[in-house]
Structure 1
Amino acid sequence: MKFINFAIVKFSAFLVLGILTAHYLPSNSFFLSYLFIILAIVAGLWFWAKKQLVQQPYFGIAVYLCFFAIGYFTYQMQLPEFQPNHYSHFISENKADLVQLKINQSLKPDKFYLKYFATITAINNNPAAGKILLNISKKSIKQSFSPDEILLVYAPITEIQKPLNPHQFDYSKYMKSLGVYGQLRLSSSPILKTQKASKTLMGIAQNIRAHIITKFQNTNLKTDERAIIQALVLGEKKDIDKNLYNEYAAAGAVHILAVSGLHVGILYIILAFLFKPFVRWKYGVFFQATFIVILLWGFALLSGLSPSVTRAVTMFSFFAIAKLFDREINSINTLFLSFFTLLIINPLWLFQVGFQLSYLAVFFIVWLQPLFYKVGYSKYWIVRKTWGIVSVTICAQIGVLPLSLYYFHQFPGLFLLTNIVVLPFLTILMCGGILIVLLASFDSLPNWFADSYNFLIEGLNGFIHWIAVQDEFLFKEIHFSILKVLGTYLLIIAIALLLKKMNYHRLVISLLAISVLISIYIYDEFRYSGNQFLIFQKSKQTLIAYKNGKHLTVFKSDSISNTSETYPLKSYKIAVNTNSYSEKKIPGFFKYNNKNVLVLDSLGVFPNATNVNTILLISSPKINLNRLIDSLKPVQIIADGSNYYSYVKRWEKTCKLKKLPFRHTAKQGAFPIE
């Protein structure tokens, strides 16, 4: 292995530590002043260290603190409170504002809204900045908007709602990782004015992509096949059928639908082959590297500059530049250099799942694949190539498995078979897809070529479907906490180091890692062994869950079967580590932790009970709440999502007059009975 420059690895580690500290332990003060102080100390120590014969550790410590401070500072710069022009400082609470914004990117629409990312340029005629999520009702407007269009609207800017049930996907948190801290909903509010703005590179790239997709619709490409090629070559996934996408996920091949390092690597090989004749000319290497880098970044722009693509293109750009200067290339150095560079540019990428999985997969391929390849080396060419694909797949899967289990809670058992078939197939599809994009753009795509591509994609989709329906090989609903993720990575690294070089110290470290992971599993079993009584929020339905150890009992108002596989119970079951489940009809009376819970449904009949702690109102009961409170003297009132809003408002007003705590799950989220 070529020399690894551990300095860039250490600098990256302290940069990440600074970003994480700023994220989890934020400071109200701006860190820039501290950064300047540390830089001054580093400069002073550097001049002092130059004159010393025996070097002291102070300079090194100061340098690491400097990179820690840079990480902290760059993260702070992304936060609205440290951006004087951010729109959050100008908006009026619960009031509409005159907002001027510029469309950045169109997103996948839902049933009711067209969705866009936009940048705010002014609020109430005051200059402003910041990204926002724009939702435009399909009923209010029929037209769609293109990147770089400017809109003038009069509407309130609101926060993106947090999940109302525990352990659900937090869309607001995901949006914040993209730098989006608010949203506009335009349903009845008119768009006052639209105009074209000056063109940007991103806008031009997206308009070109939209133009190519429009051209595709006039070809012989079928709907599913067209969606696959859009994902493979253009990074456009919003037209992929949901069932087809789920099949790719179940087969362990979803990574080929998201343009990533794999696709960029194939493109790099294609471009290096095409521009190989340049090296024969004087300065040909320079032109070769320049054209490859420009085309790679052009591809990244066209595919939307996703974190995985940006990471891969940055890394391959460093490869091309190093080759230009005839420098030895070490993959780990290049990987960490691209990692360091991208986090300096945008530290929020660290919290995106795609970014994390992408770097982990490449790191473990680079680090472990030589070891695996050596084990299965053969003198036969076909065996070597097959084992090369297998070893790369295994190393990538080892790298992403703990984090994948944490985020997605499933493991495709046939991932190895899938990748052995799909990876060679992908190279053919990428080459053909690029050619189809070029031909379709100029209305020159022959029907026979489109039909041939249809046939190839149909074959791939058929294979993926066959893998996906092998349910016995898809392990789902796996509970995996963040502690298990850390413990598993510790064990993987310890065993990998032991296999690379066996000695006593590494054996001890491996045994300690096994002990740590076992302790984490025991701790998790203990942590989730308690009881919980929870009233969920679900529109037009009542869901009450009682968790007793590892058994979950759900009380519900309807007769729909298999509620455990639907929102919001599925993710809750996995998160609290239950292994058995049952359903019952909602009784009129509960007792939990010596507290009595009375349930009133649409009939509104209540007993002459005493010591009622909580009253749960469901299905809009027609009751006199004043009389009910005076009669039963409850401690609190809860209304779930099955009630009419007009009823809830009346109950809330009554409880306010009675100075009695009132909770509406549709506004405040699921409520646990303590």
Structure 2
Amino acid sequence: MKFINFAIVKFSAFLVLGILAAQYFPFNFFSLHYLLIILAIVTGLWLWSRKQLIQHVYFGIATYLCFFAIGYFTHQIRLPQFQPKHYSHFISENKTDLVQLKISQILKPDKYYLKYFATVSAINNESATGKILLNLSKDSITKSFSPDESVLVYASITDIPKPLNPHQFDYSKYIKSLGVYGQLRFSSTAILKTQTGSKTLMGIAQNLRAYIVAKLQNTNLETDERAILQALILGEKKDIDKSLYNEYAAAGAVHILAVSGLHVGILYIILAFVFKPFLRWKYGVFFQAILIVILLWCFALLSGLSPSVTRAVTMFSFFAIAKLFDRETNSINTLFLSFFTLLAINPLWLFQVGFQLSYLAVFFIVWLQPLFYKIGYSKYWIVRKTWGIVSVTICAQIGVLPLSLYYFHQFPGLFLLTNIVVLPFLTILMCGGILIVFLASFDSLPNWLAESYNFLIENLNGFIHWVAVQDEFLFKEIHFSTLKVLGTYFFIIALALLLKKINYHRLVLSLVAIATIISIYTYDEFRYSGNQMIIFQKSKQTLIGYKNGKHLTIFKNDSILNTSEIFPLKSFKTAANINSYSEKKIPGFFSYNNRSILVLDSLGVFPKITKVHTILLTNSPKINLNRLIDSLQPNQIIADGSNYYSYVKRWEKTCKLKKLPFCHTAKQGAFPIE
């Protein structure tokens, strides 16, 4: 299939390039006027090219530039710096504002806060816009917020903090991919007024989902079983226990907990069967397609319009439209058409992991599954069906593997066994779950049906647990850099092209891909072979790391507790490609790169020395810092996260008076010693 000749594929590629350019190279001068100029040029070239017998390249170049400009412009107008009324322009330190909000989404709460997404409508009675994160203290609440509820609060808008340790998960970057650039932290005392706001489709869907969840809580469904049902049917994952979710991830079955194309496909089959009698009518095909598309979009709304379910419903909608108008289409073309449409509507989806994994999985299934299916074709029905599941699972795993390793750094070795067992029963679970949700909504769920579903989910969870505890088949802490992702996809595509058709050019391309992979792995080995010393930020604890090639030594005060798997060392070890680890007690005085470093703990005792380069203050030592600086004449002072804040503030003032560089890891982040 020469899908590369499809215009929509090329247009999608240039749209993506435009979005990426706007993300990493935003320019103030690029505005709607330039987009209109490019569109006018393209229109003129199109009118001119229609009169030409031999077409010129200029029209094609202008067309691609037009789609690049569309991608650039649609993304840039969503950046806060190009929105004059965005609330981020009102952010300033120690400033409290009167903020009017409308709740748009309820998030999973953490230990201390209830969390919400909201849209800002006004600040200090001035019109404002933008999506914001709300953190409402649990200790002070009398009731939680509901979607579409308007709230007036008196609080400070702050930036979402960046990670304080290297290679730590960047929550601020993740939440910016959702269009959120600030947050509010407040208690119930800061809430001045609440009232019901105007209704929205998303708000109605979320309130309906909350109503159904409340009804399910009153049934005989067990807690874990009900949480799985809510994830399967409603896309509601907030109630899933963290350990249970981790077991699904370790077993390679976490995709069934996220409403995606698999669930939409099963629902499509169910709806097609239910509405099959419509085909007997003259215009039955038309009404059947319209009803199915409407119900699929209702399901997508109810499940929260996640990138994966939106992608699936969009594709099914295009297939249905093509079928109605009796137009020939193919999966690749429809896939890229939905890809182009969704990114044109919301370019921020390009940076969301779920969106990336969803499209990669479907692309490789559509592209490679026919090849794999031919390899294992059998005349026996049961073998064909089993191999169909296996081939689809393998193709999807090939498509998402490099990106999964990059984001999650683990690979479930028993994913194939998990999917062979789980996928055939997913249809039963979906049908049963839909029936239970429907009956529970009207308080008509019989106990025997709830207990039967409990039994099915309990056995499913038991199987998942058995797979997850096979630790020897779960490969963790896999280092996978951006270059490795790109190189691996290059190799997969080159090899797939060679297997589809063996010729000289594709063989050369495969050899180049192999050489590229070898070069990338060699470069990564060289890049991470150097030495590094770093003072990590860890609350109430001192951690000093010394990286020597691929070995990491951690110096700490507690010689009993093993810290290799705790935050922030676990992510650092994976990202830095560490393969050996050891722990030692922190020395009172040591040298690194010809720089002497004095470590002062709570005792404040140090050896007789005349001068040091760096002083590290740990565990709140009771010292006269002013006298110590005069005595040792250090070049810089560092205080880690083990110190009291009152002490740190006093030390910071002293260093400021002495015009001496001062670093507090709890504020500036981990400190690398050069």
TM-score, length-scaled by structure 1 = 0.99
1:534 matched residue in structure 2: 534
1:662 matched residue in structure 2: 662
The C-alpha deviation readout for 1:585-639, integer Å capped at 9, x for no partner, is 1110121000011000000112231341100000000000000000000000000
Residue type matched to 2:76 in 1? Answer: Q
1:322 matched residue in structure 2: 322
Change beyond 3 A, Cα 1:436–1:4: farther
Q: Indicate conservation of the 8 Å contact 1:91/1:97, yes or no.
A: no
Q: Indicate conservation of the 8 Å contact 1:2/1:330, yes or no.
A: no
Q: Indicate conservation of the 8 Å contact 1:3/1:330, yes or no.
A: no
1:593 matched residue in structure 2: 593
Q: Indicate conservation of the 8 Å contact 1:11/1:67, yes or no.
A: yes
1:570 matched residue in structure 2: 570
Compute the displacement of 1:189 (Å): 4.5
Q: Does 1:487 align with 2:487?
A: yes
1:553 and 1:29 map into 2 onto residues whose CA distance is 50
Larger deviation, residues 21-30 vs 216-225: 21-30
The C-alpha deviation readout for 1:401-426, integer Å capped at 9, x for no partner, is 00000000000000000000011111
Residue type matched to 1:158 in 2? Answer: T
1:610 and 1:276 map into 2 onto residues whose CA distance is 90
Residue type matched to 2:62 in 1? Answer: A
The C-alpha deviation readout for 1:624-665, integer Å capped at 9, x for no partner, is 000000000000000000000000000000000000000000
Change beyond 3 A, Cα 1:159–1:415: same
1:616 matched residue in structure 2: 616
2:156 matched residue in structure 1: 156
2:417 and 2:280 map into 1 onto residues whose CA distance is 41
2:269 matched residue in structure 1: 269
Residue type matched to 1:334 in 2? Answer: T
1:347 and 1:383 map into 2 onto residues whose CA distance is 42
1:561 and 1:296 map into 2 onto residues whose CA distance is 52
Compute the displacement of 1:188 (Å): 6.7
Residue type matched to 1:529 in 2? Answer: S
Classify the secondary structure of the residue corresponding to 1:238. Answer: coil
Q: Indicate conservation of the 8 Å contact 2:3/2:332, yes or no.
A: no
Q: Does 1:396 align with 2:396?
A: yes
2:66 and 2:328 map into 1 onto residues whose CA distance is 28
Compute the displacement of 1:218 (Å): 0.9
Larger deviation, residues 18-27 vs 621-630: 18-27
Change beyond 3 A, Cα 1:406–1:2: closer
1:547-558 alignment to 2 at 5 Å?
547-558=547-558
- Structure 1 segments, 4+ long, off by >6 Å, are none
2:216 matched residue in structure 1: 216
2:170 matched residue in structure 1: 170
Q: Indicate conservation of the 8 Å contact 1:114/1:136, yes or no.
A: yes
Q: Does 1:138 align with 2:167?
A: no
1:327 and 1:565 map into 2 onto residues whose CA distance is 56
2:83 matched residue in structure 1: 83
2:241 and 2:142 map into 1 onto residues whose CA distance is 23
2:246 matched residue in structure 1: 246
2:466 and 2:210 map into 1 onto residues whose CA distance is 32
2:41 matched residue in structure 1: 41
Q: Does 1:407 align with 2:407?
A: yes
Classify the secondary structure of the residue corresponding to 2:606. Answer: coil
1:509 matched residue in structure 2: 509
2:579 and 2:92 map into 1 onto residues whose CA distance is 48
The C-alpha deviation readout for 1:230-279, integer Å capped at 9, x for no partner, is 00000000100011000000000000001111111111111111112212
1:511 and 1:428 map into 2 onto residues whose CA distance is 46
The C-alpha deviation readout for 1:298-352, integer Å capped at 9, x for no partner, is 0001001111111111111111111111222300011000000000000000000
Larger deviation, residues 627-636 vs 316-325: 316-325
Q: Indicate conservation of the 8 Å contact 1:91/1:123, yes or no.
A: no
Compute the displacement of 1:198 (Å): 1.4
Classify the secondary structure of the residue corresponding to 1:111. Answer: coil
Q: Indicate conservation of the 8 Å contact 2:141/2:188, yes or no.
A: no
The C-alpha deviation readout for 1:13-58, integer Å capped at 9, x for no partner, is 0000111111112213233222122112111111111111111111
Larger deviation, residues 88-97 vs 100-109: 88-97
2:625 matched residue in structure 1: 625
1:602 matched residue in structure 2: 602
Q: Indicate conservation of the 8 Å contact 2:135/2:184, yes or no.
A: yes
1:525 and 1:155 map into 2 onto residues whose CA distance is 49
The C-alpha deviation readout for 1:430-476, integer Å capped at 9, x for no partner, is 11101111000000101000000000001100000000010000011
Q: Indicate conservation of the 8 Å contact 1:555/1:583, yes or no.
A: yes
The C-alpha deviation readout for 1:528-547, integer Å capped at 9, x for no partner, is 00000000001100011000
Q: Does 1:56 align with 2:35?
A: no
2:66 matched residue in structure 1: 66
Compute the displacement of 1:81 (Å): 1.1
Q: Indicate conservation of the 8 Å contact 2:136/2:185, yes or no.
A: yes
Classify the secondary structure of the residue corresponding to 2:322. Answer: helix
1:93-104 alignment to 2 at 5 Å?
93-104=93-104
The C-alpha deviation readout for 1:106-125, integer Å capped at 9, x for no partner, is 11101110000001111000
2:207 matched residue in structure 1: 207
The C-alpha deviation readout for 1:69-103, integer Å capped at 9, x for no partner, is 11110110110111122112234442000000001
Change beyond 3 A, Cα 1:5–1:312: farther
Q: Indicate conservation of the 8 Å contact 1:5/1:333, yes or no.
A: no
1:388 and 1:328 map into 2 onto residues whose CA distance is 25
Q: Indicate conservation of the 8 Å contact 1:30/1:82, yes or no.
A: no
Compute the displacement of 1:373 (Å): 0.3
Larger deviation, residues 15-24 vs 182-191: 182-191
Q: Indicate conservation of the 8 Å contact 2:4/2:10, yes or no.
A: no
2:105 matched residue in structure 1: 105
1:167 and 1:632 map into 2 onto residues whose CA distance is 34
Q: Indicate conservation of the 8 Å contact 1:542/1:556, yes or no.
A: yes
Larger deviation, residues 184-193 vs 432-441: 184-193
Larger deviation, residues 411-420 vs 559-568: 559-568
1:289 and 1:44 map into 2 onto residues whose CA distance is 39
Q: Indicate conservation of the 8 Å contact 2:209/2:302, yes or no.
A: yes
1:35 and 1:2 map into 2 onto residues whose CA distance is 31
Residue type matched to 2:653 in 1? Answer: K
Change beyond 3 A, Cα 1:5–1:205: farther
Compute the displacement of 1:3 (Å): 7.4
Q: Indicate conservation of the 8 Å contact 2:164/2:670, yes or no.
A: yes
Q: Does 1:497 align with 2:500?
A: no
Larger deviation, residues 232-241 vs 83-92: 83-92
1:32 matched residue in structure 2: 32
Change beyond 3 A, Cα 1:191–1:560: farther
1:431 matched residue in structure 2: 431
2:642 matched residue in structure 1: 642
Residue type matched to 1:252 in 2? Answer: G
Residue type matched to 1:467 in 2? Answer: V
Residue type matched to 2:210 in 1? Answer: A
Classify the secondary structure of the residue corresponding to 1:565. Answer: coil
The C-alpha deviation readout for 1:192-215, integer Å capped at 9, x for no partner, is 001001111111100000000000
Classify the secondary structure of the residue corresponding to 2:564. Answer: helix
Q: Does 1:197 align with 2:226?
A: no
Q: Indicate conservation of the 8 Å contact 1:4/1:330, yes or no.
A: no
- The aligned length equals 674
Q: Indicate conservation of the 8 Å contact 1:155/1:189, yes or no.
A: no
Change beyond 3 A, Cα 1:2–1:553: closer
Residue type matched to 1:341 in 2? Answer: T
Compute the displacement of 1:9 (Å): 0.3
1:454-473 alignment to 2 at 5 Å?
454-473=454-473
1:114 matched residue in structure 2: 114
